[in-house]
């Protein structure tokens, strides 16, 4: 044992700083009835946890030094599909959890409200456009509200676990709100009724968090 330990301190084995799941800021049942407790528990502790673990496994194989997640995303074409899928999966879910809260009937306020009105005309138009992006994403993927290089708000979607930060993405910018439309995000409660899930999800968006994300993105 002593030999193994002394060897491992000299042989240059690199262990990257692990990427970690942040604790949920609310209980698994806190988003009921919009998202049921069992879906949240499986989604967070199984699906998202697996992305984080597999990202760390891929990083240990492929990286020579620890890198910020955003830097990985921006150069994702340099890495394996394992790192792309799981790095995106980790990033996307961490944003997703933070952008939700128990239903409070709140609406966008402050600079977010102003930006939504100036880019989309009204909250209703914005909601329709983001819902449309979620509904027209064929198969698994995400719908996004993101800030483009001109610091304008944009709406779009990406397949699988891609996101607008990735150099491989046809839509590019900084995501400030993401909607998971993989079936694992809604199937237990909604089955094939993605539209109902999408419509209900707007009631549990943490608009204050999205506003904070916008403030950071336009700096
Ligand atoms: Mn998911």
User: If we measure between CA atoms, which residue out of 99, 120, 90, 103 comes closest to residue 177?
Assistant: 99
pLDDT mean over 120-129: 98
Give distance in angstroms: CA of 15 to centre of ligand 1: 27
Backbone angles phi, psi at 155, to 5 degrees: -120, 140
Q: What is the pLDDT of residue 15?
A: 76
Q: Average per-residue pLDDT in the chain?
A: 93
Predicted confidence band of residue 9 (pLDDT cuts 50, 70, 90): very low
pLDDT digits (tens, 9 = 90+) for 32-87: 999 999 999 999 999 999 999 999 999 999 999 999 999 999 999 999 999 999 99
Give distance in angstroms: CA of 150 to centre of ligand 1: 29
pLDDT digits (tens, 9 = 90+) for 182-218: 999 999 999 999 999 999 999 999 999 999 999 999 9
Give distance in angstroms: CA of 172 to centre of ligand 1: 21
pLDDT mean over 156-173: 98
Give distance in angstroms: CA of 1 to centre of ligand 1: 41
C-alpha span between 73 and 166 (Å, rounded): 5
Give distance in angstroms: CA of 40 to centre of ligand 1: 10
User: If we measure between CA atoms, which residue out of 119, 123, 90 comes closest to residue 18?
Assistant: 90
Give distance in angstroms: CA of 18 to centre of ligand 1: 20
Estimate to the nearest angstrom the gap between the alpha carbon of 7 and the chain centroid. Answer: 40
Domains in the chain: ranges and CATH: 3-21+36-98 (1.10.287.990), 110-217 (3.55.40.20)
Q: What is the pLDDT of residue 104?
A: 75
Give distance in angstroms: CA of 182 to centre of ligand 1: 6
Give distance in angstroms: CA of 158 to centre of ligand 1: 13
Q: Say whether pLDDT at 173 is over 90.
A: yes
Give distance in angstroms: CA of 97 to centre of ligand 1: 10
pLDDT mean over 116-142: 98
Q: What is the pLDDT of residue 12?
A: 55
If residue 175 lies in a helix (H) or strand (E), which one and from where to where?
strand 174-180
Q: What is the pLDDT of residue 10?
A: 42
Whether residue 175 contacts residue 163, with contact meaning beta carbons closer than 8 Å, is answered with yes
Give distance in angstroms: CA of 43 to centre of ligand 1: 6
Listing DSSP states for 192-210 in one string gives T-HHHHHHHHGGGB-HHHH
User: Of 8 and 198, which is predicted with more confidence?
Assistant: 198
């Amino acid at each position: 044992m002593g030999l193994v330990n002394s060897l491992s301190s000299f042989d240059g084995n690199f262990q990257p700083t692990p990427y970690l799941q942040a604790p949920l800021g609310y209980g698994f049942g806190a988003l009921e009835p919009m998202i049921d407790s069992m879906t949240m528990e499986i989604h967070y502790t199984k699906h998202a946890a697996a992305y984080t673990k597999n990202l760390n496994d891929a990083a240990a194989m492929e990286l020579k030094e620890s890198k910020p997640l955003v830097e990985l995303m921006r150069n994702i074409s340099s890495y394996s599909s394992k790192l792309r899928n799981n790095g995106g999966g980790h990033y996307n879910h961490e944003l997703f959890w933070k952008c939700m809260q128990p239903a409070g009937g709140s609406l966008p306020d402050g600079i977010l409200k102003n930006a939504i009105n100036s880019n989309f005309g009204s909250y209703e138009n914005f909601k329709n456009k983001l819902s449309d992006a979620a509904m027209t994403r064929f198969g698994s993927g995400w719908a996004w509200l993101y800030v483009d290089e001109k610091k304008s708000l944009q709406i779009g979607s990406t397949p699988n676990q891609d996101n607008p930060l990735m150099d491989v993405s046809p839509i590019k910018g900084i995501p400030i709100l993401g909607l998971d439309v993989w079936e694992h995000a809604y199937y237990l409660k909604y089955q094939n009724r993605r539209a109902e899930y999408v419509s209900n999800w707007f009631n549990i968006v943490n608009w204050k968090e999205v506003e904070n994300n916008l403030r950071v993105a336009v700096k």
